[in-house]
Structure 1
């Protein structure tokens, strides 16, 4: 292994306010520190490059564990190869090796963190894992589906991976799992089709799956102990382990999610992924805040967090490296997992330029990839004219906006206990909506 010795010449030059512990995000900050280098892990059987963007750090070490769950590890100093960007190259085949980063700050603080760009993780996202992604491909894993005909032809059905088969009446063997989602021949107690056969009966073109990246508050080794839909992001580029048959094996969740997508594609059904880039569950413990305190989250001038999401924090998509993170992430999911569309939770938190860049990025892969989102005008610390909200929809071509007024007109209100019906239930005079 290559051990790079860190020199003291680069210490204490980064713009960290030692009084607040936050980065001073000036108008030229991104110009000075943002990078277009590929971040995270760059794996090959001969060597692996680890690269982290951490502009507030004085020095960084790679913590490379000898086993996935053991405590013993090698500590390897990383080199600052450009302002704010650190890397180290480690020789040998590191497939399935767990790692973290140790960050030293100018005030003497030391923290360890997972890799925000990680593609794989141990149980409950405790450690990042190097992975040979080719080894996770199912048998006959091929190319993307052919381009979809037109967005206006889409018939979308929303589902939750866990909920779709978790009931004992679903007939599935792998209840609540990626693999359970694509079991065929399953029936309810009264003989009706369930699972994948039910979806095929519906005649849908797309299934929109609620969050299936790694979320924080469900024990991956005890799926039924606590319930959460998954709008509590932890590792954005890692599949959720509670949906896998073995949460402790980092490759199982990747392989089985690919198998689910492959099974849906074989049935002629495309997959839209629900993504929640607008907030995280806990800023203090999330890798974003650990590697760049004060950068990835939108704040007011006094340093307090903007809270248009209503859950305590808003990500700052207008900052170059947050924007780039979103672009890199959707590109990864589209290319590695053959995802056919993205549903952006609370899209109005993001800025117009970022959403247009998402459209441009995905167009290079497949212009028929669907982008839709919740374009509500939320109270976040961003000028209204920059918000990716429905009021600015004309500035975001080929990005659909969810219309809750139309939903209420068609099916009725969700806010009164279900007593208010809509057009499809016979309520008159709703056509004008």
Structure 2
């Protein structure tokens, strides 16, 4: 996640009143937390009720507007203080189609208009909340929408996507380019007739689409969508409503909601689950965030000097350990899982959040559907202002069952260090990275053949189960895979780049962790060597879908590797004891060659023994297996799970920069 942000400094306020009597809170821990769910606006045709949690307020006003972004309030309503820091009022009119905002007064100062903490519909640019009937936002057949079947987490194949990147280029053949509806269009093709859009995803065989932030974020002016303004969306504004720039009409509050649901429904019909990238660790800015405009200071951590802590690197970090922030996060993800049928959540800079909150989120989502997958970045940009043993860092994943984290050990073992794009890794022939790659291949678990002292970042296993590790080589952050290869091997030919790309994804898809693919890797997508493209234009970020035709062999390789993984449970055992029992690394001479065997009908696989050889060297390498007849399913950049030919044991050669997979 990358963005610039405004830093708030100043004093934290504690002395305030939350009822008709003045009350002084000695610390944030004393702030009341309501037991009932947060519901700031409840609409019926006869009346609409409004509620805001503002425990330090002296007064709270509700303003009603005819427009979501223009004009002044036509009516103001004073909210009455209630228990648990709540303020409420009802308006006995049919307010559907109107807009509202709250204003909180503390110590004779009005803080400014806010749509509230939990706005679920907003007007243009999200400054005012909208009064709508959510039942009218369900597309036809929504009540029949079901999550596609998922037997176990080990079956997941993730595909990370940004809406604009995926559909914006004219070669996509998509009508609703850059919009939620892009993922509802069937039959789209590139100029050569190859499938794009949702048909491409189904053809590729992934199980989950991971959507970069899709909630309402601050950096895009929804009145200027023709200006090619771009952002990844890691600058939250309203957490519980879809982003307007991805809708066909951001001015109409219901449109973005309906179109988001249509997108989810369309993906579900094709057997694809939907993961949302959520960014609860910081806000776009703190000074006028919805958090700060309701309970100043409470939702953020501070340094001893009173200034905002900055674990996000974006000017602020939220305080998930505080009761109301924890409640907010839990109710927010549950809302997306129930109202929008979201199937998984990726937590940005999860290491800023506390362990207890993440475990409570897991428990809350289990009540909705235990197959909802949770994973995140097990680190922070800077050290958060909370004890390290309480943070949801990668090294504490052992304390968070059924929550996963990204493996930078495997990523950087394969490609090279994150802080130097010119340096390569195992996939580009750099020796000494083998143990880091092996660590990722077993899924970051304890394994008798992993020498943790030789692993690049983690000197001990951090996953209880292999499905707690995300296996990847690139994502939206940093250089994409093709650019990283070009940067670390400047003289590489297009053919060599394609070979290295294939080798890298073989490691990802034969890892016992959960594989993760960055959109476009399968068609040799590049980003013009831009390292951090969060504000770059479409010319940099958009995927050129004619690449699918140009690099058909690469696409077919990805497709074939996914099919191979899905067809054989040995590649996705999903259980640490099974991996320790059935996954064995073979001895090899020299560096840059890794060979492992999935033995003894691993996990009930129909293939008795499966061998995977990964050769990062530029020249052919050899190893030895016992005599016998073997079927080859992957060789020289071609994969076919039904077989490419036979070979016999003894001395086996693997071409340079490639993988070899065969079974007995």
TM-score by length of 1: 0.91
User: Could you tell me how far 1:95 is from its partner in structure 2?
Assistant: 2.4
Give 1:382's match in structure 2, choosing from 380, 386, 389: 386
Q: 2:151 aligns to what? A: 149
Q: Where does 1:261-272 land on structure 2 (aligned, <5 Å)?
A: 261-272=264-275
1:13 aligns with 2:17: no
Q: 1:219 aligns to what? A: 221
Instruction: Check conservation: 1:147, 1:368, Cα contact below 8 A.
Output: no
Q: Distance in 1 between matches of 2:51 and 2:257?
A: 22
C-alpha distance 432-43 of structure 1, shift in aligned 2 (>3 A): same
User: Could you tell me how far 1:426 is from its partner in structure 2?
Assistant: 6.0
Q: 1:71 aligns to what? A: 72
Give 1:397's match in structure 2, choosing from 401, 408, 412: 401
Q: 1:189 aligns to what? A: 191
Q: 1:117 aligns to what? A: 118
CA deviation map 1:364-386 (0-9, x unaligned): 00000000001115501101111
Q: Which shifted more, 152-161 or 410-419?
A: 410-419
Q: Distance in 1 between matches of 2:426 and 2:21?
A: 62
Q: 2:249 aligns to what? A: 246
Q: 1:258 aligns to what? A: 261
Q: 1:105 aligns to what? A: 106
Q: Distance in 2 between matches of 1:12 and 1:226?
A: 49
C-alpha distance 264-191 of structure 1, shift in aligned 2 (>3 A): same
Q: Distance in 2 between matches of 1:155 and 1:83?
A: 44
Q: 1:4 aligns to what? A: none
Q: Report the RMSD for the aligned CA atoms in angstroms.
A: 2.0
Q: 1:319 aligns to what? A: 322
Q: 2:49 aligns to what? A: 49
Q: Distance in 2 between matches of 1:10 and 1:368?
A: 42
Q: Where does 1:357-368 land on structure 2 (aligned, <5 Å)?
A: 357-368=360-371
Q: Where does 1:305-316 land on structure 2 (aligned, <5 Å)?
A: 305-316=308-319
Q: Distance in 2 between matches of 1:163 and 1:97?
A: 34
Q: Distance in 2 between matches of 1:250 and 1:426?
A: 53
User: Could you tell me how far 1:66 is from its partner in structure 2?
Assistant: 3.2
Q: 1:38 aligns to what? A: 37
Q: Distance in 1 between matches of 2:313 and 2:65?
A: 37
Q: 1:84 aligns to what? A: 85
Q: 1:5 aligns to what? A: none
Instruction: Check conservation: 2:58, 2:106, Cα contact below 8 A.
Output: yes
User: Could you tell me how far 1:201 is from its partner in structure 2?
Assistant: 1.2
Q: Which runs of 5+ in 2 are unaligned?
A: 1-16, 437-664
Q: Distance in 1 between matches of 2:111 and 2:398?
A: 47
Instruction: Check conservation: 1:170, 1:188, Cα contact below 8 A.
Output: yes
Q: Secondary structure at the match of 2:341?
A: coil
User: Could you tell me how far 1:356 is from its partner in structure 2?
Assistant: 0.2
User: Could you tell me how far 1:280 is from its partner in structure 2?
Assistant: 0.4
Q: Where does 1:201-212 land on structure 2 (aligned, <5 Å)?
A: 201-212=203-214
User: Could you tell me how far 1:421 is from its partner in structure 2?
Assistant: 4.7
Instruction: Check conservation: 1:342, 1:371, Cα contact below 8 A.
Output: yes
Q: Distance in 1 between matches of 2:26 and 2:234?
A: 29
Q: 1:165 aligns to what? A: 167
User: Could you tell me how far 1:10 is from its partner in structure 2?
Assistant: 4.2
Q: How many residues align?
A: 415
Instruction: Check conservation: 2:130, 2:253, Cα contact below 8 A.
Output: yes
1:281 aligns with 2:280: no
CA deviation map 1:327-355 (0-9, x unaligned): 01000000000000000000000000000
* 4+ aligned runs moved over 6 Å, structure 1: none
Q: Which shifted more, 63-72 or 203-212?
A: 63-72
Q: Which shifted more, 326-335 or 63-72?
A: 63-72
Q: Distance in 2 between matches of 1:98 and 1:109?
A: 20
CA deviation map 1:267-313 (0-9, x unaligned): 10000000000000110111100100010001123321111111110
Instruction: Check conservation: 1:54, 1:292, Cα contact below 8 A.
Output: yes
Instruction: Check conservation: 2:148, 2:268, Cα contact below 8 A.
Output: no
Q: Distance in 1 between matches of 2:134 and 2:44?
A: 10
Q: 1:234 aligns to what? A: 237
Instruction: Check conservation: 1:11, 1:106, Cα contact below 8 A.
Output: no
CA deviation map 1:233-279 (0-9, x unaligned): 00000100000000100000000000011110011000000000000
Q: Distance in 1 between matches of 2:264 and 2:171?
A: 23
Q: Secondary structure at the match of 1:364?
A: helix
C-alpha distance 45-109 of structure 1, shift in aligned 2 (>3 A): closer
Q: Distance in 2 between matches of 1:96 and 1:327?
A: 29
Q: Secondary structure at the match of 1:103?
A: strand
Q: Secondary structure at the match of 2:77?
A: strand
Q: Distance in 2 between matches of 1:103 and 1:9?
A: 12
Give 1:328's match in structure 2, choosing from 313, 326, 331: 331
CA deviation map 1:110-148 (0-9, x unaligned): 522221210011111121112211101111112431552
User: Could you tell me how far 1:417 is from its partner in structure 2?
Assistant: 3.4
Q: Distance in 2 between matches of 1:126 and 1:366?
A: 33
Instruction: Check conservation: 1:50, 1:88, Cα contact below 8 A.
Output: yes
Instruction: Check conservation: 1:219, 1:225, Cα contact below 8 A.
Output: no
Instruction: Check conservation: 2:148, 2:273, Cα contact below 8 A.
Output: no
